[in-house]
Amino acid sequence: MNCQQIRPLIQPYADGELDAARVWEVEQHIHDCSACAQEWRNLQSLKKAMQHDSLFFSAPEELRQALKAELHSGVEIQPSQSFWTWNWLTAATAGAVAMCLALLLTVTLTRPTARQQLTQEIVSSHIRSLMASHELDVVSTDQHTVKPWFDGKLDFSPPVTDLVAQGFPLTGGRLDYVGNRAVAAVVFQRHKHVINLFIWPVPASDSKPAAFGSRQGYNLVHWSNAGMTFWAVSDVNENELMEFSRDFVTATTDTPASR
């Protein structure tokens, strides 16, 4: 290390505030650099001078007596002090409670909802599959290959169909983990864009029409029917993703969703 790097460390070194690695670096430099060594010696001399007995003195007896008298007079007005101290403590407590309530309200209002957290998980899973080149566990354009692949790996049978005629060819599938459970990710393509369709079971009564949303630059469509919930996510535009959801629902309407 050069002098420019060492000089800011000399004061902490003199005060014993550096870790072992930095101490060794400073000591090696000081050993070879007379200028930095002199600066360190000057600091040592200043510290010793500041500790000299001549810089410390005892308070005069008159000051001691004046302080004692002031303390005694304070005892005599203790009731008044207690009154004001109680008021001060009450105000401080009320202020602290108000701050805690404000903080709690802020945390409550800014905390993401369960729906927002789930949406973030889905988008994150989509991004990870693209970054890690792990889009597929089973590579096939044949729905009769992809659908049976999930057998024994999940506690449900996801609907799978090929939408090549509609412009959304099936490319395969994989296992994923969303919302604290294992889910099916059925993968489609739109030109050069990947569409991840996440599927898992929900109560049969929980039927919802397709709803569009976006997050982190990705578009999502969510719907539920036939005891399954579906989340399609991709960077294709809104119209194409909504078209995909409609085509998928139409193609799987008569397909058993679970076993």
Q: Compute the distance between CA of residue 238 and CA of residue 224 in angstroms, rounded to an integer.
A: 18
Task: Name the DSSP class of 236.
Answer: S
DSSP string of 52-107, one letter each residue: -GGG--PPPHHHHHHHHHHHHHHHHTHHHHHHHHHHHHHHHHHHHHHHHHHHHHHH
Which pLDDT does position 2 carry in this prediction?
Answer: 82
For the stretch 89-113, pLDDT in tens is 676 777 777 776 766 666 555 566 8
182 touches 196 (CB < 8 A): no
Q: Compute the distance between CA of residue 43 and CA of residue 11 in angstroms, rounded to an integer.
A: 7
- Work out the pLDDT band at 256, boundaries 50, 70, 90: very low
Residue type, 154: L
- Work out the pLDDT band at 218, boundaries 50, 70, 90: very high
Average pLDDT value for residue range 165-170: 96
Q: Compute the distance between CA of residue 18 and CA of residue 72 in angstroms, rounded to an integer.
A: 48
Q: Compute the distance between CA of residue 186 and CA of residue 197 in angstroms, rounded to an integer.
A: 5
Please state the pTM of the whole predicted model: 0.56
- Work out the pLDDT band at 77, boundaries 50, 70, 90: very low
Instruction: Kindly give, in sequence order, each residue whose CB lies less than 8 Å from that of residue 54, ignoring residues fewer than 6 positions away.
Output: none
Which pLDDT does position 72 carry in this prediction?
Answer: 66
pLDDT above 70 covers what percent of the chain?
79
Q: Which domains does the chain have, with CATH numbers?
A: 3-52 (no CATH), 114-252 (3.30.200.100)
Which pLDDT does position 257 carry in this prediction?
Answer: 42
Residue type, 134: H
Average pLDDT value for residue range 14-23: 74
| DSSP bridge partners of 184 | 175, 199
Of 238 and 11, more confident: 238
Which pLDDT does position 211 carry in this prediction?
Answer: 92
Tell me what the pLDDT averaged over the chain comes to. 81
For the stretch 225-243, pLDDT in tens is 989 999 999 999 999 999 9
Average pLDDT value for residue range 72-78: 54
